[in-house]
């Protein structure tokens, strides 16, 4: 299957969700911005949204979230105390909370909350390196 071959390199980025060309976070590229789930911040108890981009922005700006190391915990999860530096890390973490696996393998039925985990799976299980011409599938929900 050719999948999203034209967008492959942009989607793969540096294997963490960052676009290698623009430096912008692609996160779950082509994913829906709005979710069926209402996300509520357990830290400030005033923020709530269905929009994942708004949720991620709040994860970066909420002043009630614990940030023992502001560099390592640039983003803190609205549902727990997990912290990460990259936007893609917090998106993948939130997907995990919700049981979402938007990154799908083109070679089997494997799915992952994180693009980097999908790339590792393809390399380990199918013997294909990320640098090769691998037409990885993007998030299955749009």
For residues 13 and 61, membership in a common domain is answered with: no
Question: What residues make up the domain containing 119?
Answer: 5-28+102-126
pLDDT tens string 2-35: 343 333 333 333 334 433 323 333 333 334 444 5
Q: In this predicted model, which residue has the larger pLDDT, 51 or 36?
A: 51
Give residue 129's pLDDT: 79
pLDDT at 70: 84
* pLDDT score recorded for residue 71: 85
Residue 91 and residue 73 share a domain:
yes
| CA–CA distance, 104 with 114 (Å, rounded to integer) | 10
72-77 own/partner pairs: CB under 8 Å, 24+ apart: 76/43
For residues 10 and 29, the answer to whether their CB atoms sit within 8 Å is yes
16 versus 51: the higher-pLDDT residue is 51
Q: For residues 114 and 73, state if they share a domain.
A: no
Identify whether 107 is part of a domain. yes
Q: Are residues 10 and 50 in the same domain?
A: no
Q: Looking at residue 130, what is its pLDDT?
A: 67
Q: Is residue 59 in a domain?
A: yes
88 with 38, same domain: the answer is yes
In angstroms, the CA 96 to CA 84 distance is 14
Does a structural domain hold residue 141? Answer: no
Q: Does 56 share its domain with 106?
A: no
Q: How far apart are CA 43 and CA 3, in angstroms?
A: 39
Assess whether 85 and 119 both reside in one domain. no
- Give the pLDDT score at 29: 37
For the segment 59-75, what is each residue's pLDDT rounded down to a tens digit?
A: 999 999 999 888 889 99
In a domain? residue 136: no
Domain count, the chain: 2
Mean predicted confidence (pLDDT) in 31-58: 85
77-128 confidence digits (pLDDT tens): 999 999 999 999 999 999 999 888 989 999 999 999 988 899 999 999 999 8
Same domain? 46 vs 84:
yes
> Is residue 43 located within the same domain as residue 94?
yes
Give backbone dihedrals phi and psi of 54, rounded to 5 degrees, phi first: -65, -40
Say if residue 84 is in the same domain as residue 65: yes
pLDDT: which is higher, 49 or 21? 49
């Amino acid at each position: 299957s050719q999948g999203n071959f034209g967008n492959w390199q942009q989607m793969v980025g540096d294997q963490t969700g960052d676009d290698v060309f623009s430096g912008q976070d692609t996160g779950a590229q082509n994913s829906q911005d709005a979710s069926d789930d209402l996300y509520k911040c357990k830290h400030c108890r005033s923020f709530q949204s269905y929009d994942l981009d708004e949720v991620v922005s709040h994860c970066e700006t909420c002043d009630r979230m614990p940030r023992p190391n502001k560099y390592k915990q640039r983003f803190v999860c609205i549902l727990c105390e997990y912290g990460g530096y990259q936007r893609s890390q917090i998106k993948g973490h939130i997907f995990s909370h919700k049981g979402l696996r938007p990154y799908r393998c083109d070679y089997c039925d494997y799915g992952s909350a994180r693009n980097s985990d999908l790339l590792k799976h393809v390399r380990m299980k199918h013997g294909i390196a990320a640098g090769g011409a691998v037409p990885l599938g993007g998030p299955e929900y749009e």
